Amino acid sequence: MIARLRNVTYRGPLSDDKALLPELPMDLANTLASINGFVQFDGGLHVRGICTFPEWHSLRAAWLGASAFHAMYTNVRGSDIPFAQDCVGDQFLLREGAVWRLSAETGELQPRAPDLNTFLNNANSDPVGYLSLEPLLRLQAEGVRLEPGELIHVYPPFCTKEAAQGVSVRAVPALEVINFHAEFAAALPAEGGRIRVTVTD
């Protein structure tokens, strides 16, 4: 049974990558056959679709492309399907039917739901709490709308000590945020320590 979706603010285009559909687990395939990916809650949750364009919405690009998540994070397997992301770019992966959350800043994985439909039902029942949408609410309070294809860039990253003093939030193209997080996670010292971040416009 496909979860009832609330506050869909973007629907994916018609599929131009139907060869990918048979490679997907049945629950994800059924969902994407019904709606080819979507954004909910004005950017709070983005579920990727079966398409080649736009790239930010392409499940193939995120799963099997040159910049696939398994190529950027050592904890991610090639069989993990990065089907969705939240407003700050943390990823949701399908692994053997269960949903796992990938912390984009650190590369850590945590179990999130036993299956896709439970995940979607939980996200639709309590989006702010379940998806940790506080950064999105702050951005909206500042008068900024997160457009489809954008994520929130949080600086300094939440995982740093400096973040306790406060962070800035801004809307940035999704692929830029994803690449920043992957590079940051790869550079993190294994046992903690200092890391230098250079910010350019």
pLDDT for position 183: 93
**34 CB burial (10 A radius; 0-12, 13-18, 19+):** exposed
Q: Residue 191: is its pLDDT beyond 80?
A: no
pLDDT in tens, 93-149: 999 999 999 999 999 999 999 999 999 999 999 999 999 999 999 999 999 999 999
What number is the average pLDDT over the span 166-190? Answer: 90
Residue type, 134: E
**What CA–CA distances, in Å, run from 88 to 2, 32, 153?**
25, 23, 6
Taking the domains of the chain in order of start, what are their residue ranges? 1-201
pLDDT for position 152: 97
Q: 81 is written with which tokens?
A: 């399907």
Provide the b/e sequence for 113-148 (b: ≥16 CB within 10 Å). Answer: beebbebbbbbbeebeebbbbebbeebeeeeeebeb
